[in-house]
Copies of this chain bind each other. A is one copy, B any other.
Amino acid sequence: MADRKPIESTSTAQDPLKQKGLSVTGSRRKILQLFMQQKGALSHRDIEKKAGAVFDRVTIYRTLQTFLDKGIIHAIPSAGNAVRYALCQGQCGPGHHDHQHIHFICSRCKHTFCLDHSVTPDLHLPKGYQAQDIDVLVKGVCQQCSTTSK
């Protein structure tokens, strides 16, 4: 009896998952929580590790895909092969993502951060090229790393 508690849904309507039209499950709650309590971005691997062996690998793949589709998280390009994901801040929704922030990759701690300092790079594309979406990746040293152990 006592083990059937609805986790913490004092008010179902204010659940971010519900708001996006998703059913609320353990893995979705957990993964969303991981993103929320995390300053930086997370790769699939990070989530696997942080979540422990609680969820199946496949479930994580599927949850990430669902979150992407619903505009809850966005994918951050990477030059290695570890795409990372982070929460969407703006008006992202099913089908469209709209971000105007920088993705900062720390070369020291290897973490990826979304910096809310919008840039509008002066694009001078050659004739015929039409821009739809811009992603600015900056590699450097993050705040944390630049202050500690100079």
Q: Chain A residues in contact with chain B, CB under 8 A?
A: 75-81, 83, 102, 104, 107, 115, 117, 119-144, 146-147
Is B83 touching A102 in the complex (CB atoms < 8 A)?
A: no
A139 touches B135 (CB 8 A): yes
Q: Determine the distance from Cα of A129 to Cα of B133 in the docked complex, in whole angstroms.
A: 24
Question: Would you call A102 and B125 a contact (CB within 8 A)?
Answer: yes
Shortest beta-carbon distance from A67 to chain B in Å: 14
Number of copies: 2
**Are A117 and B127 neighbours in the complex by a CB distance under 8 Å?**
no
* A147 and chain B: residue at smallest CB distance: B128
Is there contact, CB below 8 Å, between A75 and B83?
A: no
Q: Which residues of B contact A130 (CB under 8 A)?
A: 140-141, 146
Q: How far is the CA of A125 from the CA of B146 in the complex (A)?
A: 13
